[in-house]
């Protein structure tokens, strides 16, 4: 079920939760929901520019985001305002849950960046993950999170990454 916006497109609010609190909430356009995978398109929801050194997210960027109900990650294709592909930012998360007009995703700190040409594959925030204490409080979830990051990295380095989004 979705909420229709004034222009007739389906709207879905993405709610990113971290450590039990809402980290960010933003509206996106629901592209597809096949019962397992949800795809949403949304403009960069951050305030101003976020420069990671290897990529910049900035106003005008468009994210096509893929969430799974049966996988421990989300993949966000990032394009500039002109449509140029910047790459893919992957969040390790618990499986997504959709309830009416909301898609709730719990961020587990681990991330992966894959550049548009596939030559730059970076594991991110492993220190934050270690500091989160998830390995002690929920060892099964921590193991699933590490396995998800390994899977994403393997797909990115093996050249099969874009097949994941087809």
Predicted local confidence at residue 2, as pLDDT: 39
Predicted local confidence at residue 102, as pLDDT: 96
Kindly state the average pLDDT of the residues 59-75.
Answer: 97
Does the pLDDT value for residue 165 go beyond 90?
Answer: yes
- Give the CATH fold of the 11-164 domain: FomD barrel-like fold (2.40.380)
pLDDT over 70, % of the chain: 95
Report the C-alpha gap between 137 and 100 in whole angstroms: 30
Predicted local confidence at residue 46, as pLDDT: 81
Residues in the chain: 166
Kindly state the average pLDDT of the residues 59-67.
Answer: 97
Render pLDDT for 88-113 as a digit per residue (tens, 0 to 9). Answer: 999 999 999 999 899 999 999 999 99
| E strand segments, the chain | 3-4, 10-18, 21-33, 37-43, 50-51, 56-57, 62-68, 73-79, 85-93, 97-99, 102-115, 121-124
């Amino acid at each position: 079920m979705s909420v229709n916006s004034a222009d007739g497109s389906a709207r879905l609010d993405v709610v990113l939760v971290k450590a039990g609190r809402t980290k960010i909430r933003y509206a996106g356009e629901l592209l597809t929901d096949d019962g397992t995978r949800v795809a949403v398109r949304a403009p960069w929801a951050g305030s101003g520019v976020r420069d990671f050194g290897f990529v910049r997210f900035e106003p005008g960027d468009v994210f096509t985001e893929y969430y799974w109900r049966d996988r421990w990650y989300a993949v966000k294709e990032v394009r500039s305002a002109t449509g140029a592909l910047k790459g893919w930012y992957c969040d390790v998360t618990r499986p997504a849950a959709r309830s009416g007009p909301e898609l709730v995703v719990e961020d587990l700190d681990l991330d992966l960046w894959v550049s548009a040409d596939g030559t730059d594959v970076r594991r991110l925030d492993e220190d934050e993950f270690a500091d989160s204490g998830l390995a002690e409080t929920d060892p099964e979830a921590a193991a699933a999170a590490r396995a998800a990051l390994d899977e994403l990295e393997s797909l990115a380095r093996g050249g099969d990454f874009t097949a994941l989004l087809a």
